[in-house]
Amino acid sequence: MSGNGFSVRVATADEVGAIVEWAASEGWNPGLSDAALFRAQDPEGFFVGVEDGVPVSAVSVVNYGDALSFLGLYIVREGWRGKGFGMATWRAGLAHAGTRPVGLDGVVAQQDNYRRSGFALAHRNVRYAGTVAAPTASEAPGIVAFGEVAFESVLAYDAACFPADRATFLHGWVSAPSHHARALLRDGRLAGFGVIRLCREGHKVGPLFADDRAGAEALFDALLAAAGGGLVFLDVPEPNGGAVSLAESRGLAPAFETARMYTGPVRPVAADRVFGITTFELG
């Protein structure tokens, strides 16, 4: 897509890193390893708009097999807004999804625009934030290091909580140096898992999946202990009342909200197991 000195193309690895830095400058507080881990899922799913050789806009539309695409990192740099570059980049990115349903987490100010592009509300997500001391008690029974769990069982559990298979993404997400992952076993069976990652500011927990609130609390506390406490963020799907209660019980307060929206039907998930979504950028 080009004309009048503007074109949209697939971003290079270095450009994906730059796009994540743009997100940081917008106050989105990405994780330290996000650029490489995001790109690993779909290297062709990151797009940059270039005006006369200068990168000015971006969007990611990451494909998860044939089941789902997820849109994020939609940014037009300050000074280049209002010129149509954003919409041209958006359209080029969406073309990458083909016939797949597309999801996104939309900020309040843009939700009407997303509806006009065919997105419909699934549920609200609320980002909870707060400074929490690292738990001093020993880990709850059943909490284990991630390496003690067969990865196949993790993939099966994740498939019940996320509307597409994402083995490539998960493999990197649970093992990155700036991430801590923990699993919960009950009677030898996987009953939940979670990840906490270091961000520009504090840590974000995500995903946080568990059979019930007690399991989610045990995982949350184990992850917080691994990170050493401090400022923490948890992105909670509002319909899960247990997730809301968990966040509030740990002293976290609402700081931000998005709308999870899709362009079409997606694979059903066990919503009662989702206590924290993975990321606003990749779902």
How crowded is residue 256: how many other Cβ atoms within 10 Å of its Cβ? 17
- Residue 193 falls within a domain, yes or no? yes
Q: What predicted TM-score, i.e. pTM, was given to this entire model? A: 0.95
Q: What is the pLDDT of residue 2?
A: 44
In a domain? residue 181 = yes
CATH number at residue 45: 3.40.630.30
Mean pLDDT of the chain: 95
- Indicate if 96 and 176 belong to the same structural domain: no
- Tens of pLDDT along 144-166? 999 899 999 999 999 999 999 99
CATH assignment of the domain containing 221: 3.40.630.90
Shared-domain flag, residues 96 and 139: no
pLDDT tens-place string over residues 136-146: 877 889 999 99
- What confidence category does residue 4 fall into, taking pLDDT thresholds of 50, 70 and 90? low
Per-residue confidence (pLDDT) for residue 110, from 0 to 100: 87
107 inside domain? no
Model confidence pLDDT, tens digit, residues 254-275: 999 999 999 999 999 999 999 9
Looking at residue 139, its pLDDT comes to: 81
Domain end, chosen from 65, 83, 100, is at 100
Residue 3 has pLDDT above 70, yes or no: no
Co-location of 176 and 251 in the same domain: yes
207 in any annotated domain: yes
Distance separating alpha carbons of residues 253 and 243, to the nearest angstrom = 12
In a domain, residue 108? The reply is no
Q: Which helix (H) or strand (E) holds 253?
A: strand 253-262
Residue 1 pLDDT greater than 70, yes or no: no
54 plus 133 within the same structural domain: no
122 falls within a domain: no
CA–CA separation, 267 vs 245, rounded Å?
Answer: 26
| pLDDT tens digits, one per residue of 220-231 | 999 999 999 999
Is residue 40 a contact partner of residue 96, using CB atoms and an 8 Å limit? Answer: no
pLDDT tens per residue, range 231-259: 999 999 999 999 999 999 999 999 999 99
d(CA 225, CA 223): 5
Indicate whether 147 and 199 sit together in one domain.
yes
Domain count, the chain: 2
The answer to whether residue 149 is domain-embedded is: yes
Would 110 be classed as within a structural domain? no
Do 86 and 207 share a domain, yes or no? no
Q: Based on the domain organization, do 53 and 93 belong to the same domain?
A: yes
Q: For position 109, what pLDDT does the model report?
A: 84
Same domain, 150 and 270: yes
Q: Which two tokens stand for residue 248?
A: 């509030």
Q: What whole-number percentage of the chain has pLDDT above 90?
A: 90
pLDDT of residue 5: 87
Looking at residue 188, its pLDDT comes to 93
CA pair distance 12, 66, nearest whole angstrom: 23
Taking residues 192-210, report their average pLDDT: 98
On whether both 47 and 131 belong to a single domain, the answer is: no
135 lies in the same domain as 272: yes
Of 28-32, 99-103, 105-109, the one with minimum mean pLDDT is 105-109
Residues 144 and 261 in one domain: yes
Same-domain status, 131 and 79: no
Phi, psi (degrees; rounded to nearest 5) at 58: -160, 160
Given a cut of 90, whether residue 61 has pLDDT beyond it is: yes
Parent domain of 95? 2-100
